[in-house]
Structures are given as structure tokens and as C-alpha cells.
Amino acid sequence: MKLSTIKVAAEILAGVKINRITDKKVKTTLVNDYLHLRGFAKKAEEDHNELVRKFQSDWADELAAVNALRSAGKPVAGHDDYLEAEKDANEAISAIYSAEVDATPKAVKMDDFMASCGGEELTLEQIALLQEGGIIEA
């Protein structure tokens, strides 16, 4: 599963009102899935944040000038090395979230999920993503 999908699935599960789930098996499965996925998402976020910190530290002298130009809607001229490094950093961050990892959540049947919590706090898109991620099965 891609880390970008894992990140979103963990965020969705974080918003589920777990104490409203009446079926103990569904509740336990969703908690375990959340904790499993959160571990992958947290590591990706830490790597992301470290890249951002490193970039900001390395380019602190030009960062303010480039941000000022962008805020003013002016072209960022004369900062070619900065722009190239920024592009590389953005590609590295994108690579983090594009990586495939072996995260295999234990699926909950859609009927059991809907019967135990109704899914009322979730949108159809969120339910679809949970299904695509193997957390809910049809």
C-alpha cells in the first residue's frame, strides 16, 4: 500500500468515534488497524519533517528573500540554486509518500462496520478509501 493512502486511512480512522462502535470485534479490529497504519504514517511524517527542517536550515539565508518575492507576486529571479534545491526536496518528499510498504490491515466486513457504528461520521469517499486500503471489505 502506498504511504499516501496509509496516511489518509490513518487520519480517517483517527476521526472514528471508537467508543460508539457496539461490536467488540469490529472495534478491536479498527483500533489495531489504526495503530498499525499510524506507525507507518508517523514514520513518513517524521521523514517529511526532517527533510523540511534540513532544507530550511540549509537555505535559511535565501528562504526569507524567496518567500518575500512570492508573497509579493514577483518572479523569483536570481535564486536558481535555491529553486533547484527546493524542487529536489519536493521530489524527495513526494517519493516518501509514493513508497509502497507492506501494510496489511485486517478487514472488517462492510455490513458489520455499518451495523456497529453506522459510519455516520464518515463520508462516502472516506468509506471508499478505507475499502481500497483493505480496512473495510464489501
pLDDT in tens, 23-35: 999 999 999 999 9
pTM above 0.85, yes or no: no
Left, alpha or beta for 98 (phi > 0: left; psi -120 to 50: alpha)? alpha
Q: Are 138 and 36 spatial neighbours (Cβ–Cβ below 8 Å)?
A: no
In 108-125, which positions are buried (b, 16+ CB within 10 angstroms) versus exposed (e)?
Answer: beeebbbebbebeebeee
d(CA 113, CA 45): 28
| Residue 22 cell numbers, joined | 457496539
For residue 100, the cross-strand partners are 2
pLDDT of residue 22: 85
pLDDT of residue 25: 93
Among 5, 4, 11, 1, smallest CA distance to 96 is for 4
Helix (H) or strand (E) holding 108: strand 108-109
d(CA 133, CA 37): 10
Write phi, then psi, for 101 (nearest 5 degrees): -130, 160
Residues of the chain where predicted confidence (pLDDT) is lower than 50: none
pLDDT of residue 3: 95
